Copies of this chain bind each other. A is one copy, B any other.
Amino acid sequence: MSIRSLASRLGLSITTVSRALAGYPDVAAATRERVQREAERSGYRPNHVARRLRTGRSGTVGIVVPSEQGTFDQFFLAMLGAIGPLLSRAGLDLVLMGAPPGKAEMHAYRHLVEHHRVDGILLARTRRDDPRISYLLKHGVPFVAHGRSETRSSFASLDIDGETAFATATERLLGFGHSQIGLINAPEQYMFAHHRAIGWQRALTAVGLPQGPVLRGEATEESGHRLMSALLQSERLPTAVLCATDRMAVGALHAIASAGLRAGRDVSVIGYDDLPMAGYTDPPLTTFEQPIARMAQRMVEMLLALLDGADPSQLREVWTPRLIARQSDGPAPKRMRRAGKRANGGRYVQEARHPEWSDNPQLHDS
């Protein structure tokens, strides 16, 4: 069912049919009616490929998902699930490429842009120094990033203020009387991990405390487990730990439990992402919301604006994070252990914040 056969069936020219369908004003109302009815009746569907060739726009947006073998970034994929429907509602297709971070990744981006496969690109998991961003900027490809970067030039982006998030989380723990607050971070080349580390640090120095211990690893349960175990055996066992992601937090909770300690009481844990299962860990995880649907929505809007010629530098948003309090954090253990149990109702005296804890022998037997 090409436009040609439709036209001949109607005894009209291709031009007229095309214009009738596209709603141009230079076709008589009666004719348009007739064309539309026949198109409907015969199930005519314009061939998108031909249309694209002619118009020069591919009608698709691309996204490259980092696929380290075996393990896939849940957050990333959830985002994808939200983006897909939004784009198709806007009449755009989403083409997906997978590539392990690194060389193949850049290759995927080049593929997408140099083969004219996409009109625009969505990009996530920004890094501090992000070659993908410089590449896209250089080639003038419209794109919107989830997360900021340290590139000089500006680009459309949507981010959640991870720095404030982890500053807030740290203050919350300080309010609970913790004074030794560790950080289990994802690789800090990632902007989100970097920001979260900064927030944590900022909140600590604001009250004159030194940094607690910080450990880094992949954002997986396994890694969270391993790092937390290490922490539990080290001399620097903190009473609270911030985990850069929920997956790491899940591993950490498990490590705490298998060390015979009670998460949320002996050791507080706060995560980030509010994965569906975060409400079902033991204890349920205090964490930060990821308003995936809302972010996807906004990113798509931004991209559409960009494709419409909007100025990228006007399209930069940083949203404020929202903490979801559950039971994996709470008052610092009274005298560091021993007395155990609850402290004085959530308020803690100054001394509680002093860092002699690292000399505390009781911490070693964990």
Contacts and interface: CB of A to CB of B under 8 A. Distances in A.
B220 A276 contact: yes
Given A95-B96, A279-B221, A282-B257, A81 B85 contact: no
Copies in the complex: 2
A293 B70 contact: yes
Contact of A47 (B77, B115, B277): B115
Interface in A247-285: 247, 250-251, 253-254, 257, 276-277, 279-282
A344 to B, nearest CB: 28
A53 B52 CA distance: 9
Contact of A49 (B52, B83, B257): B52
Q: Which of A67, A86, A96, A257 has the most CB of B within 10 A?
A: A96
A170 interface: no
Contact of A72 (B82, B251, B254): B82
Interface in A96-131: 96-100, 108, 111, 114-117
A18 interface: no
B71 A85 contact: no
A280 B250 CA distance: 7
Interface string A147-188: 000000000000000000000000000000000000000000
A46 B115 contact: yes
A247 B82 CA distance: 20
Contacts of A108: 88
Given A47-B53, A94-B97, A281-B282, 8 more contacts: A43-B114, A45-B116, A49-B116, A80-B80, A83-B98, A85-B100, A86-B98, A88-B99
22 contacts: A45-B116, A49-B49, A49-B53, A65-B81, A67-B82, A72-B81, A74-B74, A74-B276, A76-B81, A77-B80, A80-B96, A84-B97, A85-B99, A85-B100, A86-B98, A88-B97, A88-B111, A93-B97, A220-B276, A221-B280, A247-B276, A254-B282
